[in-house]
Structure 1
């Protein structure tokens, strides 16, 4: 979907989220603790939310939310982000977006 690609490319770090999703909240808190402030697009507040969710699934996001994009590229959902973090590969990806030093 064009809207997903546009939002992901216009913002360096994006979480497609739902306001009631605890996993979305957890990923957002992780990013804040790592010193980055992602752009959070709440699809449950977007009239095109259902289409966005379908588009994220078609793009290969196993769980459509949260869907995390870094530098315009789909990283994945919670499992992929946590795996990257545990392996030490997440922080280098986030470094350009850090506002604080960890």
Structure 2
């Protein structure tokens, strides 16, 4: 496992809600606003502001099959991007509402 993959995995493992994003991305900013609307505690890693951002994004693509941002994880579970998070808010995931997922993760 290379350094970028280890770093990405460590960030996912260490944080209840992990958002890999880019500071200028409107979808990323929407994701952060949406999480904040639930008062969720989350960590975001701005790929465009980190020296290893390109490598971490490539590692995430290998881990998840998703190259785009935001790349969202709740309780170490890959949620997907902004539209996927919006779908979880609207419809839930595996029978659980977003609040339940955030509580289980310890983010509320």
- TM-score band w.r.t. shorter chain: 0.7 to 0.9
1:4 aligns with 2:8: yes
1:57 aligns with 2:67: no
The correspondence for 1:26, drawn from 27, 30, 46, is 30
Kept after mapping to 2: 8 A contact 1:18/1:43: yes
Kept after mapping to 2: 8 A contact 1:61/1:76: no
- For the aligned residue pairs, the C-alpha RMSD in angstroms reads 1.4
The correspondence for 1:90, drawn from 92, 98, 103, is 98
Q: How many residues align?
A: 98
> Structure 2 length normalisation: TM-score?
0.82
> Structure 1 length normalisation: TM-score?
0.87
Unaligned runs of 5+ in 2: none
